[in-house]
Amino acid sequence: MSDMQTDARKPYVRPMEGWWRKNPFFVRYMARELTALVVAAYAFVLLAGLWCLASGESAYNAWLGVLRHPVSVALHAMALVAAVYHTWSWFEIMPKTMPPIVVGGKRVAARVITATGVVAAIVVTLVLFLAVWSIKP
């Protein structure tokens, strides 16, 4: 058998390393997926706090002490940035994933849908922040 026949029988193996880094769309997609993991991890931090609260005052105070550590504060700041990006990216893709909205015979522009979602998220966040801030210990 010649070398050409042997080479012709080899299966094509598509290289998968770094495929997503070659296209900005996929880079943003992967960043959005990574931020989803950060949001999920933060949910576990909150569940740990709930667990400590149910375990008693000393456990809850220890959890609060961990949250006050500079490393924890830095991680919370990074989680906040990830959550904001995650929120923004979801509102950015929302017009592409929902049925067209038609008002007055004209289709609502994608940027209007995205801006409306972002403004709604900001308003809800501020209302929740003010509600929590107003609670007196």
Return per-residue pLDDT of the chain as tens, 137 residues. Answer: 555 555 667 888 877 787 778 888 888 888 889 998 998 999 999 999 999 999 999 999 999 999 999 999 999 999 999 999 998 998 999 999 999 999 999 999 999 999 999 999 999 999 999 999 998 76
Task: Give a yes or no: residue 2 inside a domain.
Answer: no
Task: Give a yes or no: residue 7 inside a domain.
Answer: no
Task: Give a yes or no: residue 35 inside a domain.
Answer: yes
Structure tokens at 79: 């989680």
Helices (H) and strands (E) in the chain — how many of each?
A: 5, 2
Task: Give a yes or no: residue 56 inside a domain.
Answer: yes
Structure tokens at 22: 């070659």
Task: Count the domains in the chain.
Answer: 1
Task: Give a yes or no: residue 5 inside a domain.
Answer: no
Structural domain span for residue 59: 19-133
Task: Give a yes or no: residue 6 inside a domain.
Answer: no
The amino acid that residue 78 corresponds to is M
Question: pTM of the full predicted structure?
Answer: 0.71
Rounded to whole angstroms, how far apart are CA atoms 62 and 53?
A: 10
CATH number at residue 55: 1.20.1300.10
Rounded to whole angstroms, how far apart are CA atoms 27 and 60?
A: 39
Task: Give a yes or no: residue 3 inside a domain.
Answer: no
Structure tokens at 60: 């809850």
Task: Give a yes or no: residue 122 inside a domain.
Answer: yes
The DSSP-derived string for 58-84 is: HHHHHHHHHHHSHHHHHHHHHHHHHHH
